[in-house]
Amino acid sequence: MLPGRPVGVLTGPNLAREILEGRSAATVIAATDPSAASALQGLLASERLRVYTNDDLVGCELGGALKNVIALAAGMAEGLDIGDNARAALITRGLAEIVRLGLAKGGRTETLMGLCGIGDLVLTCNAMQSRNFSLGVALGRGEALADILDARASVAEGVFSAAAVNQLARGLGIDMPICLAVDGILNHFADIDAAIEGLLSRPTDLETDFQG
């Protein structure tokens, strides 16, 4: 961060292609300086793009990063054809992991229940335009990670952030089994079928308990 320069993040359920096509969307700008966020809001807002502001920079940053890892898991579930019910369960419990880590780092629950959290998560875990979801689908269908990456010009951020997310979670003592499974599949030769089935067979607890 340069002295006197505000730091901000633009995030939310935004597929670039749809925005370029002029389709309706909503996004959020978070910044260390609220006046900077408001100024950017005025510059970017249009009839087709609703722009909200937020002062929870940490929550917005983590929501935007963590959903990519969960989207990889959701894509794998889709590629394995284990059903919409199971994929919905992975997405929902993935949100719990995002909230756990977000709160531990100083983010706010209401931020992660907004556009940068659940909004971005729902989109990224369901759209084939999503680089992370589509890569997960390819992995679930048996394609090798190296082959998928070689064939792509775009970057699926979750592939590179999964290990960092788990390192951060371990340091904070945060349980994130979905992110751990994705890291295992990508970086530690874990069997994809066993990893996903293991997630779906984990012991259950109080549904509203975000601790596990």
Q: Where are the domains of the chain?
A: 8-54, 57-200
User: Is CATH 1.10.1040.10 the right assignment for the domain spanning 57-200?
Assistant: yes
Q: How confident is the model at residue 1 (pLDDT cuts 50, 70, 90)?
A: very low
Q: Is 67 a catalytic residue?
A: yes
The model's pLDDT over 130-174, given as tens digits with 9 standing for 90+, comes to: 999 999 999 999 999 999 999 999 999 999 999 999 999 999 999
pTM of the model: 0.93
Q: What is the DSSP string of 130-182?
A: SHHHHHHHHHHTT--HHHHHHT-SS--HHHHHHHHHHHHHHHHT---HHHHHH
Q: Residue 183 and residue 178: Cα distance in Å, rounded?
A: 9
d(CA 24, CA 6): 28
Question: Which residue among the candidates 11, 25, 65, 67 is catalytic per the annotation?
Answer: 67
Residue 139 near residue 79 (C-beta atoms within 8 A):
yes
What are phi and psi for residue 11, nearest 5 degrees?
-150, 165
